[in-house]
Amino acid sequence: MAKNIQDRPVLEQSSPRQALLEDYLRVRRFSEQLCVPLVTEDYVIQSMPDVSPTRWHLAHTSWFFETFVLSSYTPDYTSPHPQYAYLFNSYYNSVGERHCRPKRGLISRPTVQETYAYRRYVDDCVSDFLSTCTDETLVKAAPVVTLGIHHEQQHQELMVTDIKHVLSCNPLHPVYQKQALSSATPPPALSWISYSEQLAWIGYDGDGFFYDNEGPYHREFVDAYQLGSRLITNGEYLQFIEDGGYQNPLLWLSSGWNTVQGEQWQAPLYWEKHDGQWMMMTLSGLRPVEPAEPVCHVSYYEADAYARWADARLATEAEWELASRQVPIEGNFVENQQFHPVPLEKAVDAIKPEQMYGDVWEWTQSAYLPYRGYRPAPGALGEYNGKFMCNQFVLRGGSCATSITHIRPTYRNFFPPDARWQFIGIRLAREV
């Protein structure tokens, strides 16, 4: 059990130990801040197998710290419930058996209140551990705590995208957070930024945190290419729809065309027509599609088909990474609390691409595969990234649901090609 906060030693303000504890508590608080607009019923719904109930996210992130920090470094740690490990494990097969993912929404207990009590318990124990463990133990545990912090930021993004999907299934179009509609001006014209061929170093090469799939740092030959100066907008995507893009099999990959036919896709996810007008479900409710906003909630299949229709292609992840190094990490992230992509209002830079970070993840044409020389981490934490390197595509740049402290030029997100419920959009590339 953790000691009372009053009993813990006062830590030196500038110490690495104190900084780690503050980062931990900051991220844990933000998860709960994202839940403030919810009512109890919102926490428990699972609207499709890829979506997890908000309550599960809150518990799973606590289970991560419980399993990989507390149980590993505090021998006398006792979980508040022995079955939580079964309920809240996600995909760590080497840790033990786990509950069936598509049935997470069928579990009514622990209650939301009990889930928050579980979080308090874990937070007290982690805080106590970080405050009192030896320096030697801290050196060993700190990388795992840092991984857990970034893991929780990933689940914060999933909480936002999952609750959007949950609310979208309700014909009342509930509002998560009200946002005033602003009149957007037409975006600046799309231009092309050229990059010369080069033998480039790709991947993470620094001292800060990164996921193992971002390395090793390695060389790749990149042919000359051009990258779109900004994201593709709703208005531009509407032209694709009106030109029969969803009815033309020549634009689609075979599996994409089969998916379009089977799922009867006619537009991005969350778009629906009312009296001849396209509307979209947002976290601020149902509203008209704004032509100037970046198009969002499109699958790899749709992004690829649009690029083919536009006589272009999607960038490779190496091309994207090289271009991203020119621009600062700034944009519309979850800290802005817009929870929606916003239009580009400033003039496009003739040299550097705009909207590289935030707003929407950008599909690349690169399959999610290991870099040359990649080896997963040993033990259960090695299941974090490596085992998913099959049948997925890489996305780059972060979104309006991503934390700005979580993203890097080398960050490799990945999803299967039919995924649409994440905030994902399109940037074009083409040959020189």
User: What does the pLDDT read at residue 11?
Assistant: 52
User: What does the pLDDT read at residue 164?
Assistant: 98
**Which range among 6-20, 184-198, 264-278, 367-381 shows the weakest confidence by mean pLDDT?**
6-20
* Comparison of pLDDT for 351 and 36, the residue scoring more: 36
User: What does the pLDDT read at residue 347?
Assistant: 75
Whether residue 216 has pLDDT greater than 50: yes
Whether residue 2 has pLDDT greater than 50: no
**Residues 357, 382: Cα–Cα separation, whole Å:** 28
pLDDT tens digits for 64-116?
A: 999 999 999 998 999 999 899 999 998 887 778 889 999 999 999 999 999 99
* Mean model confidence pLDDT for the chain: 93
Q: Are residues 162 and 31 in contact, defined by beta-carbon separation less than 8 angstroms?
A: no
**Residues 257, 248: Cα–Cα separation, whole Å:** 9
pLDDT tens digits for 220-236?
A: 999 999 999 999 999 99
Classified as helix, coil or strand, 429 is strand
Count how many Cα atoms sit within 13 Å of the Cα of residue 101 in the half-sphere of its side chain: 10
Tokens coding 116: 């928050």
Q: Work out the angle between the directed axes of helices 16-33 and 135-168 (0-180°, nearest 10).
A: 10
Q: Are residues 403 and 28 in contact, defined by beta-carbon separation less than 8 angstroms?
A: no
- The DSSP 8-state label assigned to residue 84 in this structure reads H
Burial-class residue 271 by CB neighbours within 10 Å (0-12, 13-18, 19+): buried
**Residues 79, 66: Cα–Cα separation, whole Å:** 8
Q: Rounded to the nearest 5°, which phi and psi values hold at 34?
A: -65, -20
pLDDT tens digits for 321-377?
A: 999 998 999 999 999 999 999 999 877 777 899 999 999 999 999 999 999 999 988
Q: Are residues 292 and 340 in contact, defined by beta-carbon separation less than 8 angstroms?
A: no
**Which range among 96-100, 178-182, 309-313, 314-318 shows the weakest confidence by mean pLDDT?**
178-182
Whether residue 5 has pLDDT greater than 50: no
User: What does the pLDDT read at residue 6?
Assistant: 42
> What is the longest distance spanned by two Cα atoms in the chain?
69
User: What does the pLDDT read at residue 1?
Assistant: 38
Tokens coding 77: 């740690």
Across 139-160, average pLDDT = 97
Could you tell me the pLDDT band of residue 13, with boundaries at 50, 70 and 90? low
- pTM here is 0.94
Tokens coding 426: 């399109």
